[in-house]
Amino acid sequence: MAGIVVVFDFDKTIIECDSDNWVLDQLGFTDLFNQLLSTMPWNSLMDRMMKEVHDQGKTIEDITEVLKRTPIHPRIIPAIKSAHELGCDLKIVSDANIFFIETFLKHHGVRELFSEIHTNPSFVNEEGRLRIFPHHDFTKSPLPCNTNLCPPNMCKAMVIEKIQASLSTEKKLIYLGDGIGDFCPSLKLKETDFLMPRKDFPVWDLICQNKKHIVAEIHEWSDGGELEHILLHLINSIVSSMEENNNNNNNGNSSSHLVSAVDCKLQTISVTAH
């Protein structure tokens, strides 16, 4: 393990569009969605829209086919694979839903590269209709969000806090996102973490207006090619600085064992082998 956790947003970060809009547009439900959007929260409306989709004879297979065609920049999947190969722990934090995300990732053969997906739960019921539920049940208790920028069903800052609590302190986080909902978790990142906002997207504007509240190192990106380049560069430089620290520590230890600095490399190898 590289000691790095990479947390991806899904919509407009991994994929090029918003998966909810993509599915509804492709199935011909855009107008109804737009009509109803002012009447209920987005997450509740998506569950309602899946009823409409089902009632009009569209099947789970129809939704799956649409999800497989979701636009994605050609360098995103290679970037995910490389980050995994470099030993990073990959996670997704998204306000889409688990069915959309897993269907997409499985189609691209990368589902198993992610250790966790934090999103709205969803499942196909006995009638073959997709049900979508809120990540946080706001009918029972309001969402404890510090910025009031998050939707009622999900504050990604809460998820990031949980991830941070589960990690050893020396692990570094890299967070990638584009939307308003990615600002709240950005505030939770530490000085040793890295924030990769998508340039000229809503999270970017919020970050620019609130720079003094962000302590993580910021590296913006515009498209999948830049995402790949910057992410892999960041991972490689974090890994080599961590190795340097390890070597320095090993040097300290080895000098007491009368091992010369020339043997430093061997020492590292033997330490890794253990």
Q: Quick one: 272 exposed, middle or buried, by C-beta within 10 A (0-12, 13-18, 19+)?
A: exposed
- Name which of Zn ion, Mg ion, none residue 184 binds, using a CB cut-off of 5 to 8 Å depending on partner kind: Zn ion
157 binds Zn ion per the rule CB under 5 A: yes
150 binds Zn ion per the rule CB under 5 A: yes
Instruction: Name the site residues for Mg ion (rule: CB under 5 A).
Output: 9, 11-12, 178-179
* Amino acid at residue number 241: S
- Name which of Zn ion, Mg ion, none residue 9 binds, using a CB cut-off of 5 to 8 Å depending on partner kind: Mg ion
**Cα(232)–Cα(175) distance, integer angstroms:** 13
Q: From the CB of residue 61, how many other CB atoms can be counted at a distance below 10 Å? A: 9
Q: Is 223 annotated as a binding residue?
A: no
**Cα(46)–Cα(56) distance, integer angstroms:** 15
Q: Quick one: 120 exposed, middle or buried, by C-beta within 10 A (0-12, 13-18, 19+)?
A: buried
Inter-residue contact 131 to 123 (CB < 8 Å): yes
Q: What are phi and psi of 145, to 5 degrees?
A: -110, 135
CB of 160 to Zn ion, least distance (A): 10
193 in active site: no
Q: Is 18 annotated as a binding residue?
A: no
9 in active site: yes
Say if strands 217-218 and 114-120 run parallel, antiparallel, or are unpaired: unpaired
Q: Which of residues 167-186 bind Zn ion (CB under 5 A)?
A: 184
> Near Zn ion by CB under 5 A, which window of 101-109, 143-151, 233-241, 250-258?
143-151
Choice among 9, 18, 182, 193 that is catalytic: 9
CB of 7 to Mg ion, least distance (A): 12
* Nearest to Mg ion of 9, 226 (CB atom): 9
Name the one residue in this structure whose structure tokens are 């990142």: 189
**Cα(205)–Cα(198) distance, integer angstroms:** 10
* Nearest to Mg ion of 103, 267 (CB atom): 103
CB of 176 to Mg ion, least distance (A): 9
Residue list, annotated binding site for Mg(2+): 9, 11, 178
Would you tell me which residues interact with Zn ion (CB under 5 A)? 145, 150, 155, 157, 184
Active site positions, annotated: 9, 11
